[in-house]
A and B are shown apart, each in its own frame.
Chain A
Amino acid sequence: MPKITYIEHDGTEHPMEVPVGLTVMQGAVDNSVPGIDADCGGACACATCHVYVDPEWLGKTGTPNEQEASMLSFAAVTESNSRLSCQIEVTSELDGLIVRMPEGQH
């Protein structure tokens, strides 16, 4: 199972095994990792599942579609490596992925 490390804003690391086919957001919610609210449950409608993808992984996580990019452009403190974690599907390619959470989602 791919390992994903979620790092809270305060630096707390949560290494988790997340099944292929789930999203990076679901991996956090299912393991009670704090810092990802996911109010809309993955519908790409709320922008409360915002993460910063470790720059080394950007090639493998792909790029946001138009809806996601628009949502992100209005989220708090976005960076060039910002993504909505409900839009990143976990694949075996993502084994080792590191994502960091912003200070807040609201």
Chain B
Amino acid sequence: MNETTRIVIVGAGHAGGSAVALLRQYGWKGTITLIGDEPVPPYQRPPLSKAWLKGEASAESLALRPAKFYADNDVEMRLATTVAAIDRAGRTVTLADGEVLAYDHLILATGARARKLSIPGIDLAGVLELRSAADADKLKAALLPGTRVAIVGGGYIGLEAAASARALGAEVTIIEREARLLARVASTSLSAFFDAFHQEQGVAIELNADVAALEGEGGHVSAVRLADGRAIPCDVALIGVGAIANAELASAAGIDCAGGIRVDLSARTSDASIFAIGDCTHRPLHHYGREHRLESVPNALEQAKQVASALTGRKLPAHEVPWFWSDQYNLKLQIAGLSFDTAETVLRGDPSSNSFAVFHLAADGCLRSVEAVNAASEFMAGKMLIASRKPLARERLADMSVSMKDLL
């Protein structure tokens, strides 16, 4: 590495912004160019459905780093700029306006985008999604006391938006195609708990409900039409039906992809000069012996550390246990691990007290994942136990008189 070695980063989000900071912190002396298609420097998305949406966090507090950080650290920022193509043989990227930039190392941090529904009415005004700050501005402007919001999709973003919308006095209906909320991402016990909690907070929930169309009046959405013929009247429809990795740039350049850009544990793609980090990757999971795509801030940070370490010749960081959090009403959900190959479920605490944890064990008694609601000790200890692979005694795990520290 020398002062003329060039790193180009595509995507100025949580992963790209963190990689910049870590590269400089780890002593990268070469040039860094951070290219992002959004008009603003890297910011945090989690508050967009939570504290920020409720009006409890300022717009400035979303910034990943203060704006001057990039200039101070000699990072060239190209905002509102889209990368259109990668030329691997020539080691260049071409911008949408035709400009060509050369790289020695390329980092793809292109994130994911909200999945679109291809149904009639999807282009009506008042049909929103929630991925970017610009999306969030539109949603927030629409959420007034009494606004009727139909949320299509009962995943984390949908549930968090529902909780925030209730806090703002809006009327909320969640429409979910599956038989339960959080069907892809949580256990049945957790789904049942959140279903009951949202209903207590006045949210209407339609399960097994297929959306056939969005209907409008004067070009603005007025109802969600279900496949069974029923109409759910609304002033705003928020579509939150999952995210798709922005991997097209990589796959068009012939880089190995599998629903995300395939990387190793140093975040390197099938091209040794190209790395990929964050939501756009399909990555090995050290603790689970398989590959998967993750969508979380801790994942983006872990991979940013991997690439920064690889490029500055540092030892690779320790393997993290994947984790995630979600805030809804006064509930703090923290999840550690992934529920692969689980054989048994152990409940600790009483869901009716709004503080409990669901542990998922493999057949050998080792912890694979924990879902903790207002139960930070269970989450923190669970994260350690997943990494240590220590077999657990079910009775002790379920026994609240045994402290989590004693189970480590």
Contact = CB atoms under 8 A, between A and B. Distances in A.
Given A30-B66, A32-B65, A41 B44 contact: yes
Interface residues of A, number: 24
Main secondary structure of the interface of B (DSSP, over half): helix
B165 to A, nearest CB: 19
Interface in B336-356: none
Interface stretch (A1-9, A68-76, A88-96): A68-76
Interface string A65-106: 011001101110000000000000000000000000000001
A26 B61 contact: yes
A69 B58 CA distance: 26
Interface in A1-54: 22, 26, 29-32, 34, 39-47
Contact of B72 (A32, A39, A46, A73): A32
B128 to A, nearest CB: 23
A67 B374 contact: yes
A71 B297 contact: no
Nearest to B73: A32
Q: Interface centre among B47, B327, B376, by most A CB within 10 Å?
A: B376
A66 B297 CA distance: 24
A73 B406 CA distance: 13
By secondary structure, the A interface counts as: loop
B325 A67 contact: no
B332 interface: yes
Interface in B274-297: 297
Name which of A29, A45, A70 has the most chain B CB atoms within 10 A of its CB: A45
Nearest to A68: B376
A32 B46 contact: no
Interface stretch (B78-86, B192-200, B236-244, B377-385): B377-385
A46 B65 contact: no
Contacts of A40: 46, 297, 325
Contact of B332 (A22, A42, A44, A106): A44
Contacts of B325: 40, 43, 45-46
Nearest to B320: A106
A30 B41 CA distance: 14
Contacts of A73: 377, 380, 405
Given A34-B25, A39-B298, A40-B297, A45 B377 contact: no
A41 B50 CA distance: 12
Interface in B288-333: 297-298, 301, 317-318, 325, 327, 332
Nearest to A39: B301
A41 B46 contact: yes
Interface of A: 22, 26, 29-32, 34, 39-47, 66-67, 70-71, 73-75, 106
Give the 3 A-B CB pairs with smallest separation, nearest first: A74-B380, A70-B376, A45-B325
18 contacts: A26-B61, A30-B65, A32-B65, A34-B25, A41-B44, A41-B46, A43-B46, A43-B50, A43-B325, A43-B332, A45-B325, A45-B334, A67-B374, A70-B376, A73-B405, A74-B384, A74-B405, A106-B317
